[in-house]
Structure formats: C-alpha cells, structure tokens
Structure 1
Amino acid sequence: MSRIGKKPVELPSGVTAEVKGQTISVKGPKGTRSFTATDDVDLVLDGSTVTVKPRGLSKRARQQWGMSRSMVANLVTGVTTGFRKDLEIQGVGYRATMQGKTLKLALGYSHDVNFDAPEGVTVNAPKQTEIVVEGIDQQAVGQTAANIRDWKRPEPYKGKGIRYKGEVVFRKEGKKK
C-alpha cells in the first residue's frame, strides 16, 4: 500500500477544486492549475479534501497512486504559497541584473548572457549575487533555475559559478609542485 497515496490532500480556505473525470483543476489566490490523472486511479472530492484511490492492485496502479496524490498536493501548494528556488553567484566579476523582464548575467564570457523567463515564472535579482525564481508550477520553476545554473555550473577548484542556495560544492586540491 502506498503511504503517500493513502493521505488525503486538504484544501485550505480560499482554495477550490473541481474534478471532471480524470482531470482536477485547483483555483487559489495565486492562480489556477490542473492535472489529468491516468486511468489507473480515481480522484474523489469530498468537501475540502481530495483523495486518490487506485482502481486495481496492479503494479502500474500502485505507482500512479502515490504519484497522482503528490501531483494534486503540488497543485494545492502552488496556488496557495507558490514555489521558489534561490540561486547564488560566486566569482570575481560575476553578477546578475534585471533589465525589464530579462535577466542579464555577467559570467566571465566575452559577452553578457540574456535570459528570458518562460511564461508563468518570475525571475528577480534582489542583489548582484542572488537570483530568485518563483512561480506556481514546481516543474517550471525547477527547470528555469536549472537552465540559469547551466550557464556557469560551479567548478570544483575555486568554486566559481552559479549554485543553488545551500548547495555544497565538492572542492578539489590543485596541482602540487
């Protein structure tokens, strides 16, 4: 039995959900999100709780049970508080600035990198060495943060590059004489 799938998803005040067949749409203060579950699970709305139940005991039904419950919980979290990823820039001369909706990164290349955030994701640079990625879609926020980080991953010798806040970079010792 799925430990995650057994837990019902509570809808906080100000959040409404609507189930039509295999699709659930959740509306909250930050926006509206929807998810379509596979035919292996049933979505049941009981007042202010959403429960996910498997349609059988097959391996696929049990896999989809926990995953579908996690997806519904992420919908509720997204429309209430949203998701956020913090990035740090380390390195001499490395910095980030906002020009309108474009993130401008100076990362030691011969040119500045211009990064446009996708639809539904906001990117801010409160300081020159910090980048904040926010949105209601967890996958889009994580992918956008990963795309920004890919421009200059932290290197193991000096630790220069873009890293997630709190990320530990394994440092190597340099050449010895």
Structure 2
Amino acid sequence: MAETAYLGDYNFILNYKDKGEMFIMNNKKKLIQKYQQTLAGTKEEIFPLLCPVREKEWLQDWDYNMIYSESGYAEKGCMFETNNNYGSYRWIMTKHDSDNFGIQFVKTTKENIVVIIDIDLKEKNERLTYCKIQYTFIAIGEEASEHMYKENTEEHFNEHMKKWEDSLNYYLKHGEMLID
C-alpha cells in the first residue's frame, strides 16, 4: 500500500488579462512517499535486520562501506556509504530506538537531494508485523527538484519497496537471500 504526497509547493500565478491566460510556475522542493509492508515475523526478529551490515544477508545487490560505527552495526550515529543501481549515497542513522522498534536514516545524494527515511515496526499479530516506511525527499535547488521528481516516481518507489518486502519475507521464512 503506497501513498505519495507533494508538499512544499510555492505557486506563483501570473495572470495576463489581455491574453486571458494563466501560467502557474511551481517550485516543488519536497516529496513524501509512504509504503506499508506486511512482514512474516515479529518486531524482535525484524528490527536487527534493518542494519546496513545485516541487510547484506537478505537483500540482493546490497553493498555498503562503513564509515563509522562504534559497535560495527546499526546504531544512532552510524555512518556508511552505498554505491549501487539506485545511486551513490552517504547515510547517517539519526535514530535507532530498539525499545519502540523505530529507525531513521538521513542520506545525501550527489544531485543535492537530502532523503529522510523513517521506518517503524508495529505488530499486527503474533506472526505478522507492519513495517511503515516514509521517505521525505528535499531538493536543494531547481535542478535537484527536477531530478527528484523524475527519478522518484510512485511506480519506481513501489517497485523498490515491494522488492525489499519480498526479500525480507523470503529471508524470514527460509533463512537465506532471495535471488532474482
């Protein structure tokens, strides 16, 4: 289940009365995309897998370079970088709440886009957990804004989230990575 919201619009309306035309110029700087996964496991089983190190166990083509982590795993302040089919990013974990099963990453792109990723786990029942995911994209400049909307379509986002959901569910069931 996905939801996309377009926020941060500053519309400047120019009304040319003599021509009877109206032009709207948009300055879209922010894009929010949400997805809810249903995962076949408990919060306690799933939460440790939401880690750059552990993600290598269950997500095909995931790779990272750890820049900083005191424990070597996911923790507040953990910093790493990725370079894959989705692009090159630097990530910092700004929240790692193991009591409430929530994490937050902030990642930056070469295209001057900052992405805030919030992930919260909520149990549906004793064997199913909802994984609520929100991506907040913020563009720095007009060129970045155009790139942000072009590269982050609802269709692309949903495909990415579904692959992630399928991969994690497969791992939870079989204990190994789903290979395409």
Structure of higher CA gyration radius: 1
Please indicate, yes or no, whether the TM-score normalized by the shorter chain is above 0.5.
Answer: no
Larger proportion of strand: 2
- Larger RCO (CA within 8 A; separation ≥ 6): 2
Give the TM-score, by structure 2 length.
0.29
